[in-house]
Structures are given as structure tokens and as C-alpha cells.
Amino acid sequence: MLRSYELRQKEVINIKTASRLGYVDDVDIDFDSGKICGIVVPKHRFFLFHREDYVIPWENIVQVGDELILVDFAEQSAV
């Protein structure tokens, strides 16, 4: 079983582009089911208040390793 805290601070690599997206900052959880829906990786920070994030659905996660998470993700999907 994978716990949400185990995902935090792992580096995320996009296998489509072989690029580093950043590090997991937050986890999207469905509290009704208790399941992890996805991970949140900061894309850019503007000043101190506004930032853009990659919100990567769980279905796009290919592999979770000790230090890395491999994802199959279209990067233009940042919010």
C-alpha cells in the first residue's frame, strides 16, 4: 500500500518528453473513498502568491520508485 506522504518530495519525470517536471508538492485525495486521485507538481511561481501547477491524474503515473515518479503526461495541461 502506498501512502500519500511517501509521494511528497519525489522528483517527477515525464517519459513523453524525457523532461524533469519538478517535485511532488501535494497530493489530490478523494476523501470519500480514501484514494489518491493525482499528484500536484509546481510549474512556475509568480511573485509569492500565484503559481501554476501540473495536476497529474493517477492514471498517468507509470512507475513510482524510491526517488522518482515516472509519468506519461501532456505538459500543456498545467493549471
pLDDT per residue as tens digits for the range 22-46? 999 999 999 999 888 999 999 876 6
Q: Which domain holds residue 12?
A: 4-77
What distances in angstroms separate CA 76 from CA 12, 21, 54, one per listed residue? Answer: 16, 12, 9
Residues sharing a CB contact under 8 Å with residue 28, sequence separation 6 or more, in sequence order: 36, 37, 38, 39, 40, 55
**The pLDDT value given to residue 50:** 61
- Residue 61 backbone zone (phi > 0: left; psi -120 to 50: alpha; other: beta): beta
Q: Which residue in this structure is represented by grid cell 495541461? A: 77
The enclosing domain of 72 has a CATH number of: 2.30.30.240
End-to-end Cα distance, the chain: 29
User: What is the domain count for the chain?
Assistant: 1
pLDDT of residue 79 exceeding 70: no
pTM (whole model) above 0.85: no
pLDDT of residue 19 exceeding 80: yes
